[in-house]
Structure 1
Amino acid sequence: MKPNRSQLKKRRLSILGCLLGLFLQAQAQTNLDKCLLSNTYRPPANTDISVTCGSQFMDLSIYICPIYNALYNESLMVLNNQLNNPACFGMADFNSTPPVLRFRFPINDTLSSNCANKHVITTQTGTGAFSDFSNVQSVNISGVVTAIDPSAGTITYRSQILYYFSCSYPMNYLLNNTQLSVSGTNVAIRDNNGNFISTLSMKLCSDSAYLQPLVIPSTGLNIKTKVYVEVKATNLTSKFNVLLDRCFATVSPLPVQSNYYDLFVGCTRDPQTVIDINGASQSARFNFEAFRFVEQRNLTISTFYLHCLTRLCEPATCSSFKPVCSKRRKREVQGDLPSATVTSNPVHVNGKVGASSCKKL
């Protein structure tokens, strides 16, 4: 009796399954052979994992040979026991010396939430450049890589493997943007600072809709020209908004405190400075009128640089991190603040009085 089409299909699938099983078995044996030559082929240890807290991604690197030694493999290691999400499994790298299992996930919501990593916000008293403010926050992202025991019986002879990891990211930034003649200048925050967001930008515009880039002529801006400033965070989790604590100008490209002029800090604001939006979205906006530093009175063109102290805050609590005006503390320099720096061209202002170049909506 000839087999029907359905029976033939089942046989083919069975043959393919056997071939796939043989291939995986052969691959596992090859990988095991590589581990047998490695000095990391031993029982697992807590020091087998290394964590890189990057500005866009968290990277985990785990010695894979101890995993093989414990009778597991890369297909049995998963983030936070998320068995049904392929993105939560690692990638074996047997070309590395020693061989490792790598995990990578972004620090925004797209994958870390899917893999059930925990986000915990901590609050502490502000220090250094933020000593005017009573609350400064950090976010801690943590999780665990767990081993899946394939044993189907009541007991097992495999030990349980758990690799814990965490990264703490400060949510405060010193943004120095001196390329005010170019719109949308971005800075990739350095990984070794452990900062939380991937990109900050400070854009200078000539209109109140913050759409038209501000073009600074070679002769400089006219005094009292309206300058519209937008500080924006991109590739940022929706858990946080951008809050400007302080923006000030200096004649130096560095934010030195010996000679500066505050556009606003805490409850103190320059009369010509207007804050349009702050702490309510992933961008903050304010505007001011161009001015000259008195010490440059003998120069045809006055030059200054703009700097902003920026923090992230949870939308529901952003208002609580704005200073209480009657209880502002005296500024004290108590430490160094991780910073992101944009270095570019200065702002030039001439000594002639002229009309504003902004567009009125």
Structure 2
Amino acid sequence: MWLVILVCQLGLILRTEAQIPDACITSDTNRDPENSDITVVCGTEHMDLSIYICPVYQALYNESLMVLNNQFNKPECFGTPDWSVNPPVLRFSFPINGSSNSVCENNFKIITQVGTGVFSDFSNVQFVNISGSITSIDPSAGVITYRPEILYKFSCLYPMQYLLNNTQLGVSGVSLAIRDNNGSFVSTLSMQLYQDQDYLEMMTVPPTGLNLKTKIYVAVKATNLTERFNVLLDRCYATTSPYPTLNTYYDLFVGCTRDAQTKVDLNGASQKAHFSFEAFRFVEHKNLTVSTFYLHCVTRLCEVSTCSTLMPDCSSSQSRRKREALDVLANATVSSPAIVVGKQSTGLPSESSYSSPVVAVIVCIVVLTILLVAMAVYFVLYIRQKKTIIQ
């Protein structure tokens, strides 16, 4: 008798908790779970996960029985079903900061590696690996169950050095479905030019160009970025091309090596970096009215607690060389708008500061003045000579 009652109760549980929704009846995903059922989007502020929900029902579960890292006592660790898309999915989203990782027990690991290849002369390079799993909760109260366990593992690898190539991360271990993705913070970066040392007044470059030696204040900022990271500039340089190619370039600073007129005010200590330099002209533009160039900064992120260890040691007599930095990728730096510099400096005008028409007018005036003075002297002498003859 007890056996009959137990079987009846088990049948009721299966019908009430795993009844196939109408949207799944005709769906191609109304099947057993597969490796391709999970999608991971590694964003700059959030990680977004989605799994096909119909295989979950097929396995006799529902959205209330799928949770992050087995944290079934925390409502924020459960997903939200989305029946408006085809196929329907169960979505999870959490910010990549300390609070979310501690609440849902996601693994947050900083990996530090010595730079290799084109980064062999750079400081140590850091990666962020955030990983976890979506697990099923079996509501069966008996000794046995007819539900298979569902386990979706996920991870995001965030390369904190922007110039590194994205490499796929393989997650080891036995799991039902694994999908990895790589994240990049590069979309959060911007470069702005200012005309004051307080970085309040945006710089407007006139069509005629800035005066030589005009002070230019540069800010590289990261917006919508988790507070775990600061901005660290490895190198900033100028090119005559809007792209960070190195056919013609001038280094403002590379690690500890700096141009005499360049001053780094803030670096590695905030989500913005500040430096300044004086406007100059490229020699190849000597016959042009204005010289146009662009700034490019090789940028990385560093974890707040370790930024100081990644800064170059400028007090060391054996500073690491940065020659490999010349091979940076074209899409790996943050760049400025065009900077146009005219020929006139902020001091006294040079001999080439006047345009050709002005010079011609000045020459004519000088010649006429000389002629008038000569004629006046001639008439004075002529009159005096006449008076002498008459007398």
C-alpha offsets along residues 184-213 of structure 1, whole Å, 9 cap, x if unaligned?
xxxxxxxx9831365112121111111111
Partner of 1:235: 224
Cα 1:226–1:33 change in 2 (3 A) is same
Partner of 1:182: none
Of residues 136, 139, 150 in structure 1, which corresponds to 2:139?
A: 150
Q: Does 1:326 align with 2:318?
A: yes
Is the deviation greater in 335-344 or in 320-329?
Answer: 335-344
Kindly report the root-mean-square deviation, in angstroms, between the aligned alpha carbons of the 2 structures.
Answer: 2.9
Partner of 1:178: none
Output the amino acid matched with 1:256: T
Cα 1:322–1:136 change in 2 (3 A) is same
Cα 1:275–1:90 change in 2 (3 A) is same
C-alpha offsets along residues 27-83 of structure 1, whole Å, 9 cap, x if unaligned?
977743443433433333333222222344322221222211221101111112233
Partner of 1:214: 203
1:110-259 correspondence to structure 2 within 5 Å = 111-127=100-116, 130-173=119-162, 194-196=183-185, 198-259=187-248
Is the deviation greater in 139-148 or in 104-113?
Answer: 104-113
Structure having greater relative contact order (Cα 8 Å, sep ≥ 6): 1
Q: Give the whole-Å Cα distance in 2 for the aligned partners of 1:285 and 1:95.
A: 46
Partner of 2:166: none
Of residues 330, 351, 357 in structure 1, which corresponds to 2:343?
A: 351
Partner of 2:276: 287
Partner of 2:259: 270
1:43-54 correspondence to structure 2 within 5 Å = 43-54=32-43
Report the alpha carbon displacement of residue 297 of structure 1 after superposing the two structures with TM: 0.8
Cα 1:58–1:168 change in 2 (3 A) is same
Report the alpha carbon displacement of residue 240 of structure 1 after superposing the two structures with TM: 1.1
Output the amino acid matched with 2:346: G
User: Structure 2: which 5+ residue stretches go unaligned?
Assistant: 1-13, 164-180, 348-391
The answer on whether the counterparts of 1:193 and 1:338 sit within 8 Å (CA) in structure 2 is no
Partner of 1:184: none
Of residues 278, 289, 292 in structure 2, which corresponds to 1:300?
A: 289
Partner of 2:172: none
The answer on whether the counterparts of 2:294 and 2:335 sit within 8 Å (CA) in structure 1 is no
- Helix, strand or coil for the counterpart of 2:55? helix
Output the amino acid matched with 1:43: D
The answer on whether the counterparts of 2:112 and 2:125 sit within 8 Å (CA) in structure 1 is yes
Question: Which has the larger helix fraction?
Answer: 2
Q: Give the whole-Å Cα distance in 2 for the aligned partners of 1:72 and 1:248.
A: 57
C-alpha offsets along residues 121-154 of structure 1, whole Å, 9 cap, x if unaligned?
1223335664430411111111111112222344
Partner of 1:71: 60
Of residues 28, 37, 54 in structure 1, which corresponds to 2:26?
A: 37
Q: Give the whole-Å Cα distance in 2 for the aligned partners of 1:306 and 1:30.
A: 61
Is the deviation greater in 49-58 or in 252-261?
Answer: 49-58
| Structure possessing the higher radius of gyration over alpha carbons | 2
Report the alpha carbon displacement of residue 327 of structure 1 after superposing the two structures with TM: 4.3
- Helix, strand or coil for the counterpart of 2:308? helix
Cα 1:110–1:222 change in 2 (3 A) is farther
Q: Give the whole-Å Cα distance in 2 for the aligned partners of 1:198 and 1:112.
A: 23
